[in-house]
């Protein structure tokens, strides 16, 4: 572009300032941001351990499994979290409850708290879930699953890691922001949802009824999976496909196979043929462990009661986990071909039904801002190189990704979720909060 022939003096001065002076205001802003982050980190460290244990003790004492397992739902746990927030002066939450007549309160609670940042158009969200799985075999536990037991750095109790740790790390950061009276560069959002362990109805209710709440430009972290070394950042999931097979033949006496059509042997034949799916869909992706899709026969429904009966009906199930690049329709087509072959050969009928399937969701790109900020924060906090991974299990991250919301699943985990003696490390809770602080303030200074 040609220069104007004449530049007035003030404009020239301004131009010289821009060209010659170092960008002082920006540097100062960055320095303030780093200092602010250090103050929040110091606040987290100050009395963090006591707060972590007190919060975990409260949460552990409140059963919150869903009605499918005879549990009461999440309302009492939600009330405890809300009471804690109110004490901090953070009572202004947005409720997105889902009616559910199966639980005593009649609702499955979901609620969001937003602490405003300087830029209120974007939010760093921590989404945690309020439900837990039931304790399972209580004899396998060393103590009562609903009474927090603290041994050194470890806290034992049902839900300690899955997902009380996720709840607590968010609460810790909110408390530190209130205590330091610091306004972060962007909003901090805490979203608490119900029913993660069974059906994801909580997050899907939020996505449906409050589509404005989570925005594609937001940064979304789901602290609900990870590894002890803090390096694993989960950015994609395999697609889950559960199929139910009903093999129908003709019941008969064990001594008269010629008068019967044996569905157990036909089912066994089909199960062995379906092992061939591993060869039919051999694609590999090293982000996942195992790197290929999996196709496993799992549950067998009870058959005939007597040894001398040839069964006329056999029901079995398969659990399939497909890489994001493997189309479920192609897998189902191949399954049907094998079922047709068994029908033809054994004279049975095979009904194939979808028992459960997850949405097909794109991966969160490794250069999405949430991933980049998280990588930098992990490097700064832990001094380790993070790795982008995929997982075979399912979280509601896929539901968010299917809605065009990039997100990362990450926490520093002991990996004891759903197990007897489930535990969470006090340090992990604090360091997760520190990592999110670094993401929020983009403070990259390594920990001394
Ligand atoms: Zn979980």
Positions marked active-site: 131, 196
Let me know whether 79 and 139 are in one domain.
Answer: yes
pLDDT tens across 362-383, in order?
Answer: 899 999 999 999 999 999 999 9
Report yes or no on 387 lying in a domain.
no
| 197 Cα to the center of ligand 1, angstroms | 7
Looking at residue 303, what is its pLDDT?
85
| 226 Cα to the center of ligand 1, angstroms | 11
End-to-end alpha-carbon separation of the chain, Å? 50
Q: Which CATH number characterizes residue 335's domain?
A: 3.30.70.360
Helix (H) or strand (E) holding 154: strand 154-156
Looking at residue 81, what is its pLDDT?
98
| 299 Cα to the center of ligand 1, angstroms | 23
- Which of the listed residues 342, 357, 372 is the one where a domain comes to its end? 357
| 198 Cα to the center of ligand 1, angstroms | 10
Report yes or no on 399 lying in a domain.
no
| 305 Cα to the center of ligand 1, angstroms | 38
| 224 Cα to the center of ligand 1, angstroms | 5
Let me know whether 134 and 29 are in one domain.
Answer: yes
Looking at residue 302, what is its pLDDT?
82
Range of the domain at 42: 25-225+411-441
Residues with CB under 5 A from ligand 1 (ion): 162-163, 224
Looking at residue 393, what is its pLDDT?
79
Tokens found for residue 220? 């979304």
| Full DSSP string of 27-91 | HHHHHHHHHHHHHHHHHHHHHHHHHHHHHHHHHHTS----GGGT---SHHHHHHHHHHHHHTT--
| 283 Cα to the center of ligand 1, angstroms | 28
Looking at residue 30, what is its pLDDT?
55
Please give the sequence-ordered ranges of beta strands (E in DSSP) within 361-406, or none if there are none: 387-391
Let me know whether 191 and 304 are in one domain.
Answer: no
Let me know whether 194 and 274 are in one domain.
Answer: no
Let me know whether 82 and 43 are in one domain.
Answer: yes
Let me know whether 102 and 44 are in one domain.
Answer: yes
CA distances from 17 to 10, 21, 29 (A): 11, 5, 19
Domain count, the chain: 2
Report yes or no on 180 lying in a domain.
yes
Walking along the chain (448 residues) 10 residues at a time, the average pLDDT comes out as 36 38 44 88 96 98 96 98 98 97 98 96 98 96 98 98 98 97 96 95 98 97 97 95 97 97 98 98 95 96 92 97 93 98 98 90 94 98 97 89 96 96 98 98 56
Q: Which residue, chain included where needed, has tokens 């439900």?
A: 131
Report yes or no on 14 lying in a domain.
no
Looking at residue 443, what is its pLDDT?
55
Report yes or no on 168 lying in a domain.
yes
- Residue 247: strand pairing partners: 314, 350
- Which of the listed residues 317, 338, 357 is the one where a domain comes to its end? 357
Let me know whether 207 and 94 are in one domain.
Answer: yes
Can you say how many angstroms the Cα of residue 60 is from the centroid of all Cα atoms in its chain? Answer: 20
Let me know whether 51 and 182 are in one domain.
Answer: yes
Report yes or no on 284 lying in a domain.
yes
| 165 Cα to the center of ligand 1, angstroms | 10
Looking at residue 3, what is its pLDDT?
32
- Which of the listed residues 311, 331, 357 is the one where a domain comes to its end? 357
Report yes or no on 389 lying in a domain.
no
Report yes or no on 397 lying in a domain.
no
CA 240/CA 355 separation, integer angstroms:
10
Q: Which CATH number characterizes residue 199's domain?
A: 3.40.630.10
Residue 232 CB neighbour total at 10 angstroms: 21
Let me know whether 281 and 195 are in one domain.
Answer: no
Let me know whether 206 and 254 are in one domain.
Answer: no
CA 265/CA 43 separation, integer angstroms:
65
* CB-count burial class (<10 Å; 0-12, 13-18, 19+) for 199: middle
Let me know whether 260 and 185 are in one domain.
Answer: no
Let me know whether 279 and 422 are in one domain.
Answer: no
Question: Is residue 443 within 8 Å of 188, Cβ to Cβ?
Answer: no
């Amino acid at each position: 572009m040609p220069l104007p022939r004449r530049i007035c003096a003030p404009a020239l001065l301004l131009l010289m300032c821009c060209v010659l002076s170092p960008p002082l205001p920006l540097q100062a802003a960055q320095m303030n941001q780093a200092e602010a982050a250090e103050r929040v980190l110091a606040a987290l460290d100050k009395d963090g351990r006591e707060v972590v244990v007190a919060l975990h003790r409260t949460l552990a004492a409140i059963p919150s499994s869903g009605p499918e397992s005879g549990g009461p739902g999440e309302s009492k746990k939600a009330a405890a979290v809300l009471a804690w927030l109110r004490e901090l002066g953070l009572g202004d939450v947005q409720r997105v409850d889902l009616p559910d007549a199966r639980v005593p309160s009649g609702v499955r609670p979901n609620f969001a708290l937003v602490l405003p940042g300087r830029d209120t158009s974007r939010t760093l969200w921590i989404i945690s879930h309020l439900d837990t799985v039931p304790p399972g075999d209580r004899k396998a536990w060393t103590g009562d699953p609903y009474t927090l037991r603290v041994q050194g750095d470890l806290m034992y109790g049902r839900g300690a890691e899955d997902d009380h740790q996720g709840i607590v790390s968010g609460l810790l950061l909110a408390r530190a922001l209130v205590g330091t009276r610091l306004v972060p560069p962007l909003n901090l959002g805490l979203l608490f949802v119900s029913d993660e362990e069974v059906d994801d109805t909580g997050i899907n209710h939020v996505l449906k009824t409050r589509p404005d709440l989570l925005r594609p430009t937001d940064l979304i972290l789901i602290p609900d999976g990870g590894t002890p070394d803090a390096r694993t950042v989960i950015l994609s999931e395999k697609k889950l496909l559960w199929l139910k097979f009903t093999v129908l033949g003709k019941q008969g006496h064990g001594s008269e196979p010629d008068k019967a059509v044996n569905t157990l042997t036909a089912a066994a034949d089909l199960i062995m043929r379906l092992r061939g799916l591993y060869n039919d869909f051999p694609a590999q992706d090293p982000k996942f462990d195992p790197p290929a899709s999996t196709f496993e026969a799992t549950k067998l429904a009870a058959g005939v009661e007597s040894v001398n009966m040839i069964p006329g009906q056999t029901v079995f199930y398969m659990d399939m986990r497909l890489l994001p690049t493997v189309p479920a329709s192609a897998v189902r087509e191949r399954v049907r071909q094998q079922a047709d072959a068994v029908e033809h050969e054994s004279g049975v009928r095979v009904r194939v039904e979808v028992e459960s399937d997850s949405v097909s969701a794109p991966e969160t790109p490794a250069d999405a801002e949430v991933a980049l900020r998280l990588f930098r924060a992990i490097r700064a906090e832990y001094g380790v190189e993070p790795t982008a991974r995929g997982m075979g299990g399912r979280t509601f991250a896929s539901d968010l990704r299917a809605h065009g919301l990039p997100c990362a699943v990450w926490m520093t985990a002991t990996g004891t979720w759903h197990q007897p003696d489930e535990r969470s490390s006090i340090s992990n809770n604090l360091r997760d909060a520190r990592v999110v602080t670094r993401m929020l303030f983009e403070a990259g200074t390594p920990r001394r």
